[in-house]
Amino acid sequence: MSFSITLPDGSKKDFDSSLTIAELASGIATSLGKAAVAGKVNGELKPLDFVLDADSEVAIVTDKDEAALEVLRETVAFIFEATAKKAHSELRLGLHEAGEDGFFVDTDKADQIKVTELPELEKAMQKVIKNGEKIEHVQVAKAELAEIFKDDPFKSELLAKEADQVDAYKLGDFIDFGFKALLPNTGKIKQFKLLSVAGAYWLGKSSNPMLQRVAGTAFFKAADLEADLKRRQEIKERDHRTLGHNLDLFFVDPKVGAGLPYWMPKGATIRRIVERYIIDREVADGYQHVYTPVLMNLDAYKTSGHWAHYRDDMFPPMDMGDGEMLELRPMNCPSHIQIYKHHIRSYRDLPLRVAELGMMHRYEKSGALSGLQRVREMTLNDGHTFVTLDQVQTEFAKILKLIMDVYKDFDITDYYFRLSYRDPKNTDKYFANDEMWERSQKMLKGAMDDLGLDYVEAEGEAAFYGPKLDIQTKTALGNDETMSTIQLDFMLPERFGLSYVGQDGEEHRPVMIHRGIVGTMERFIAYLIEIYKGAFPTWLAPVQAEIIPVNLEAHGEYAEKVRLELAKRGFRVDVDSRNEKMGYKIRESQTQKVPYTLVLGDDEMNSDSVNVRRYGNEDQETMSLDEFINLITADVNEYSREK
């Protein structure tokens, strides 16, 4: 036997007999052997006892490497399984997974694991860890494991996909499989935390049983765990689902329709303000706003290519019984194409800018649904511009300027540009027309270069019909999401036979530019809830001022007068007329994150003034009603940005 191991620095080591990753690490350096937690063999994570006996590229993973966290977290997940199974012998186990955000284990029993049980389970796990117990990596016959898990339908289903010999790990009498690499003993585990319990459908399908998903995380250093827990607390405080509930903005009830949000009055107010703002902006920029049906003949989506490329994301067609098949639209593009086709177009009509707040429906799997961010019904701030070839770059720059202006008003600053190209090898996703792709990608890149903007390039991120500029934002929770997009399209005008009469009197093919300024209303408002932490700037706040009379009987009439004065100027104002103490009402106004709280007593009533408290500020200031009107007017007109 003779083989070579290639190390990350390019050096090679030759061997005449097999050895483990642990032996390789110790052979390189004693200190490396002690620090090693796993290895990467040809890019795949393997445990320390993995046997090397063929030419391979091998990297030793230590606790300084990012991959080590996955090993650590898989190990903690395994220890949790063993501990939970010992505490509840009837417990059945489902999926387990570890990654950059921690780990989870799906469990099931008659009386499901509760979040209040986590501290006791942590203590039991700490005992196992403190003892430095051995974790044994073993090869077990599939039939033997089948006998062990015969009473566990979830493990049995997972086991059916395994080979005849299964990689498994043992801790005492406990055994499980499906792990990439675990630590050889519990001694290297220093810092971990069980975080939460939530429901999770088996294999992510709503038709399957609901299991309990226990989530946790682990680090090698206490400081890293502390920083992560702080980050998670910040995420919890910004989670739009929690804030949406606490501020009574929206709700989703799976009993009446998973992924279908109900907008409460306050949430509907925010959405309406955003929609009016967007429409006014677009109309001022030359867009013609339209309404088009949410249903369309299936043949249109077959022509556009959506049926071929996105069928799995579309709802089943509706058979109308007379040969007509109607489809809930997943995209607005074919609808706007019909607007274009309704008249004969001349070069004088171009650019023709069509926009709509268009409702769409997409079949998202139940396991992927999340608040307003992943829904089945959504309203897209959509627009399509039909241009001549020589208008493409000018119109592109105009759309990009509109996007930047909108970002400024919403105070969106953390973003970058991504040019998304096709993957020429992926002929299933992208239609085959090399000339079109090369031409459109060059045109898009040229437009960005002419504007002098920095961008990254991403192969394989284009739409199936053309390249695009994606504007990627960082959400308050640290996720990278596409906020806006501008897409060039030579394909759909061809497929739908679009034309315009040129100066030469001949028919020519227009270019279609798809663009979304802020994406869907649902996702955009989820984004706003999280970046503002529910404390909306005054121009967006559903209630801009809360009026609190000190004594309803004595000051209620004046409170109503103030409300009317503000309301007739277009401000959104409430009077808290509940029979509660004033201090409670003031705290409630702060809890609801109302920008201005106005307290009215004898002094204010007698001087036609208001006592003003700004959200998040304990200071208060008395001013005339006219002064307050000037203050809140300026605040709204400046989009609540500090001068």
Do 69 and 100 meet the contact criterion of CB atoms below 8 Å apart? yes
Per-residue confidence at 539, pLDDT binned at 50, 70, 90? very high
- Mean per-residue pLDDT of the chain: 91
Q: Tell me: cis bond preceding 351? Omega within 30 of 0 counts.
A: yes
Reply yes or no on whether the pLDDT at 461 is more than 80: no
Do 483 and 517 meet the contact criterion of CB atoms below 8 Å apart? no
**How many CA atoms does the CB half-sphere of 614 hold within 13 Å?**
12
- Residue entry with tokens 């890293």: 224
Per-residue confidence at 558, pLDDT binned at 50, 70, 90? very high
- Confidence at residue 205, expressed as pLDDT on a 0 to 100 scale: 79
CA-closest candidate to residue 75, choices 281, 216, 259: 216
- DSSP secondary structure of 175-202: EEE--S---SBGGG--EEEEEEEEEEEG
- Confidence at residue 312, expressed as pLDDT on a 0 to 100 scale: 86
Residue range 573-586: mean pLDDT, rounded? 92
- Confidence at residue 466, expressed as pLDDT on a 0 to 100 scale: 76
- Confidence at residue 429, expressed as pLDDT on a 0 to 100 scale: 62
**Which is more confident, 466 or 564?**
564
Question: How many Cβ atoms sit within 10 Å of the Cβ of residue 30?
Answer: 10
Reply yes or no on whether the pLDDT at 424 is more than 80: no
Q: DSSP 3-state helix, strand, coil percentages of the chain (rounded to 5)? A: 40, 30, 30
Q: To 10 degrees, the CA torsion angle through 344, 494, 384, 423?
A: -170
- Confidence at residue 367, expressed as pLDDT on a 0 to 100 scale: 72
What angle, 0 to 180 degrees and rounded to 10, lies between the N-to-C axes of helices 434-451 and 392-409? 50
pLDDT digits (tens, 9 = 90+) for 270-322: 999 999 999 999 999 999 999 999 999 999 999 988 898 888 889 999 999 88
**How many CA atoms does the CB half-sphere of 74 hold within 13 Å?**
24
Q: What angle do CA 263, 267, 273 make, to 5 degrees?
A: 120
List Cβ neighbours of 204 (8 Å cut-off, separation of 6 or more).
365, 366, 367, 368
- Confidence at residue 433, expressed as pLDDT on a 0 to 100 scale: 66
Q: Cα separation of 69 and 218, whole Å?
A: 7
Lowest average pLDDT, out of 38-52, 462-476, 549-563, goes to 462-476
- Confidence at residue 262, expressed as pLDDT on a 0 to 100 scale: 96
- Confidence at residue 642, expressed as pLDDT on a 0 to 100 scale: 65
Residue range 451-465: mean pLDDT, rounded? 82
pLDDT digits (tens, 9 = 90+) for 335-361: 999 999 999 999 999 999 999 999 999
Q: Cα separation of 269 and 571, whole Å?
A: 12
Beta strands in 274-422 (DSSP E): 288-289, 295-297, 318-319, 325-328, 352-361, 377-387, 415-421
Per-residue confidence at 569, pLDDT binned at 50, 70, 90? very high
Reply yes or no on whether the pLDDT at 140 is more than 60: yes
- Confidence at residue 157, expressed as pLDDT on a 0 to 100 scale: 93
Q: Please count the residues of the chain.
A: 643
Lowest average pLDDT, out of 96-105, 121-130, 201-210, goes to 201-210
Q: Is 324 helix (H, G, I), strand (E, B) or coil?
A: coil
Residue range 365-376: mean pLDDT, rounded? 86
Do 377 and 358 meet the contact criterion of CB atoms below 8 Å apart? no
Question: How many Cβ atoms sit within 10 Å of the Cβ of residue 282?
Answer: 21
pLDDT digits (tens, 9 = 90+) for 198-245: 888 898 877 889 899 999 999 999 999 999 999 888 888 899 999 999
Q: Measure Cα distances from 516 to 106, 169, 245, 403 in Å.
A: 38, 50, 28, 9
Instruction: Determine the distance from the C-alpha atom of residue 162 to the mean position of all C-alpha atoms in its chain, rounded to a whole number.
Output: 32
Lowest average pLDDT, out of 25-29, 41-45, 437-441, 537-541, goes to 437-441
- Confidence at residue 426, expressed as pLDDT on a 0 to 100 scale: 65
Q: Is 333 known to sit in a ligand binding site?
A: yes
Q: Cα separation of 385 and 459, whole Å?
A: 25
Where do the domains of the chain lie, and which CATH numbers do they carry? 3-62 (3.10.20.30), 67-220 (3.30.980.10), 261-532 (3.30.930.10), 538-638 (3.40.50.800)
CA-closest candidate to residue 364, choices 517, 523, 236: 523
Q: Residue ranges of the alpha helices (H) in 181-311?
A: 222-238, 240-246, 254-257, 265-284, 298-304, 306-310
pTM check: above 0.75: yes
